[in-house]
Amino acid sequence: KKSARVMKQAVAHLMPFMEAEKDGGREAAGKILMATVKGDVHDIGKNIVGVVLQCNNYEVVDLGVMVPADRILDEAVAHKVDMIGLSGLITPSLDEMAFVAGEMQRRGMTIPLLIGGATTSKTHTAVKIEPRYDGPTTYVLDASRAVGVVSSLLSETEGPRVAAETRAEYARVRESYARGQGNRARATLAEARENALRADFEAYAPPQPSFLGTRAFVDYDLGELARHIDWSPFFASWELVGRFPQILEDDVVG
C-alpha cells in the first residue's frame, strides 16, 4: 500500500512536466484505453504502463479501477481508441478479462486487446481469453514491453503480421496445454480416498523447541550475516542472470 501511494505521488509530480514538454502540434501515435477490471482495485502496474506509454507519445484514457465491462467498451467507442488494455492482480480478474473479451466479440469490435497483471500469463491468455475474441489479443509481460507491443500492433505494415504470429503462437500454447492436461495420470476418487493420510497423533511425540519466548540477538556481526546473503535472486529480478558471486566477474554484466 505504501509503495503504491509513493508511486502515485511521484507520477502526479511528473505529469505536469510531461504535459509541458509535449509538442502541441505533434499528433499522438495512438490512443489506448486502460482499466483495472471489475472486482479489482490494484492499479500501480496499470499506472506505470500508462506513464510509459504517455512518455512515448501515446494518448492514454485511464478509467481507473473496478471498471465494469460495459463501461470499458462504451468508453472505448466514445473515445475512438485504437486498443484496450485490461489489468488485474487477483484471480477473479482472470475470468472478468475473459468476459470482457467475449463482450468485445459480441459487439463486433476488432481493435487489439492487451492483457496484463501479476496473475495473468501467456498460457491463460491463450487458453481462456484469445479464443473468445476474433480481434488481436496479446499478453504483455510487464511495463517495459508495453511500448513495443503497442507500436507493433498499431503499425500499418507490422500490425497484421504481428497479430498473425501471435495468434499462431497462442494456438501452439493451447495445444501444448491440452497435451499436458491429457497426459496427467489422475487417480480415481476411490483410489484417492484409499490413499488418504491416516495420522496417528496418539503415538506422536512432537519435538520440543530449545527455548520458549523471545530471544534477542544483540550486537550480532552484520558482516557475518552479509556473508551468507545470496544475491542471485536480486540480479535475476533485473534480468542479470548468473550465480552470485561469480556474476560479478562476468564479461557482460559483471
Lowest mean pLDDT among 9-18, 28-37, 191-200: 9-18
CA distance 230 to 252: 20
- Its sign, for the CA torsion 177, 178, 180, 181, is positive
pLDDT greater than 80 at residue 8: no
Instruction: Please say if 40 is a catalytic residue.
Output: yes
pTM beyond cutoff 0.75: no
Q: Which of 4-18, 103-117, 181-195, 206-220 has the lowest mean pLDDT?
A: 4-18
Active-site option among 40, 43, 62, 82: 40
Secondary structure letter of residue 37 according to DSSP = B
Annotated catalytic residue within 62, 82, 93, 152: 93
| More confident position, 132 or 199 | 132
Q: Which long-range contacts (CB under 8 A, 24 or more apart) does 129-133 make?
A: 129/97, 129/98, 129/101, 130/101, 130/167, 130/170, 131/174, 132/98, 132/101, 132/102, 132/105, 133/101, 133/102, 133/104, 133/105, 133/109
What CA–CA distance (Å, rounded) separates 105 from 194? Answer: 47
Measured distance CA(105)–CA(53) in Å, rounded: 26
pLDDT of residue 139: 97
Residue 42: active-site member = yes
Contact 38, 66 (CB under 8 A): yes
Q: Give the rounded percent of residues in the chain with a pLDDT score beyond 90.
A: 60
Q: End-to-end alpha-carbon separation of the chain, Å?
A: 34
Check whether 206 has a pLDDT greater than 80. yes
Residue among 138, 73, 79 at smallest CA distance from 109: 73
Cβ atoms of 139 and 98 within 8 Å: the answer is: no
Q: In this structure, are residues 61 and 34 in contact, taking their beta carbons and an 8 Å threshold?
A: yes
Residue 25 scores a pLDDT above 70: no
Residue identified by cell 467475449 is 102
Read off the pLDDT of residues 215-244 as tens digits, 9 standing for 90 and up: 998 888 999 988 888 888 888 888 888 888
Q: Nearest-CA neighbor of 246 among 9, 235, 78, 237?
A: 235
Q: How confident is the model over 31-43, as pLDDT tens digits?
A: 999 999 999 999 8
Residue 244 is placed in which grid cell?
A: 552470485
Respond yes or no: is residue 152 known to be catalytic.
no
Residue 31 pairs in a beta bridge with 59
Mean pLDDT of the chain: 91
**pLDDT bucket at 16, cuts 50 / 70 / 90:** confident
